[in-house]
Amino acid sequence: MTSFFDVLIGGVFHASVLFLVAAGLQLVFGVQRIVNLACGSFYALGAYFGITAVNWTSAHGAPPWTFLPVLVGAGILLGAIGPFIERLLRTVYKRDEAFQLLLTFALVLMFQDVLRFFWGANPQQLGNLSMSYGKVALGEVSFPTYNVLVMAASLAIAVALGVFLRRTAYGRVLRATAENREMAEALGADVRGIYAIVFTLGTVLGTVGGALVVPTAAASLDMPVELVVEAFAVVVIGGLGSMRGALAGALVVGLTRALAISFYAELEVLAIYVIVIVVLVARPAGLFGKPVE
């Protein structure tokens, strides 16, 4: 029976990574009204590519402690696919949501084999690198420093996103476009460019999230489809389109999962879906979302 703090840290760590993916989802949904089923695929891509990057750098003599910046760098680098995917999605912007959803599903299918092609069918791991940062002690309990770093990074990104969206001029333009695209366009916003940037940002958040998780979890071909469900749980609980919702939802899901695993393993994902359903019944818009219909 793991200690309460281990469970807590595990849950918050998982929540930190989930937050990144969910933030990406919320951003893309908020501004473009697209629900990206392929968010899990980006996540998995980040994970696999992160492993490859770290293996490459350490094969070229980089010391173990560099793996964190390498992972982050790998995640950001992958953002380069963002504009291309957005270009593809652009073909269905004007259509019914169902088609957008389906196109992202097509991407899920395609990415499955892209991952398989480059990295094969076996799960990949990064060994014990996460321990190279040692542990951090807080009184009697200690946790891996790596986890703490990731949580801090995630929080920093959350704050940065918040500042970006609320305090900067460009952030305001983004929020205006999210509220009312036509108006924003009429007022001179370059909506096309905005969409490309927003989608890329969303992609990067996903790939970085995936990259950051690999020291603690294996990258496998199940990742893309499994993450989607958790990510959706986060955005539903938090409220579609809301950044604060992404944070709140991620914490709820991360902690629920951690608690469920430690008490009764079978309940792990079940508990999450039950919460999703309860939230949708009690507060259809989620914790921070705007009222529906």
Partner 1 sequence: MSGRPRYAALVAFVVAAIAVLAIFPRVAQPYYVTLVLPAFAYAIALLGFNLLFGTTGLLSFGHALFVAIGAYAAAVMTSKLGIKSFELILVVAGAVAVIAAVPVALLAVRYVRIFFGILTLAFGMLFHSFLFKFYNLTGGDTGIRVLRPTLLGQDWKELDKTAFLIGPFYYACLVLAVVLGFAMWRIVRSPFGLHLAAIRENARKAEYLGVRVRLFRLIAFLISAFYGAIGGAILAVNTGQADPELAYWTHSGELVFMTVLGGFANFFGPLVGAFTFIFLKSELMGATQYWRFFLGATLAVIVIAFPRGLMGLAGDLWKKAVRR
Residue numbers at the binding site for partner 1 (CB under 8 A): 35, 37, 88, 91-92, 95, 97-99, 101-103, 105-114, 116-117, 225, 228-229, 232-233, 236, 240, 265-270, 273-274, 276-277, 280-281, 284, 292-293
Which 8-state DSSP code applies to residue 130?
G
Q: Least separation, in Å, of the C-beta of 108 and partner 1?
A: 7
Q: Least separation, in Å, of the C-beta of 103 and partner 1?
A: 5
Whole-Å CA distances, 66 to 10, 63, 75: 23, 6, 14
Q: Least separation, in Å, of the C-beta of 107 and partner 1?
A: 7
Q: Least separation, in Å, of the C-beta of 255 and partner 1?
A: 18
Whole-Å CA distances, 100 to 86, 94, 103: 11, 9, 5
Amino acid residing at 233: A
Q: Least separation, in Å, of the C-beta of 246 and partner 1?
A: 15
Nearer to partner 1, 159 or 278 (CB): 278
Residue indicated by tokens 């990949």: 124
Nearer to partner 1, 27 or 212 (CB): 27
Q: Least separation, in Å, of the C-beta of 119 and partner 1?
A: 13
User: What is the C-alpha to C-alpha distance for residues 250 and 246, in angstroms, rounded to an integer?
Assistant: 6
Token pair for residue 171?
Answer: 């952030």
Nearer to partner 1, 11 or 241 (CB): 241
Nearer to partner 1, 42 or 111 (CB): 111
Contacts of 8 (CB under 8 A, 6+ apart): 255, 258
User: What is the C-alpha to C-alpha distance for residues 126 and 147, in angstroms, rounded to an integer?
Assistant: 15
> H helices within the chain, ranges in order?
4-32, 39-59, 67-78, 81-90, 97-119, 145-167, 169-179, 181-186, 191-213, 223-238, 243-263, 268-282
Nearer to partner 1, 101 or 176 (CB): 101
Nearer to partner 1, 163 or 277 (CB): 277
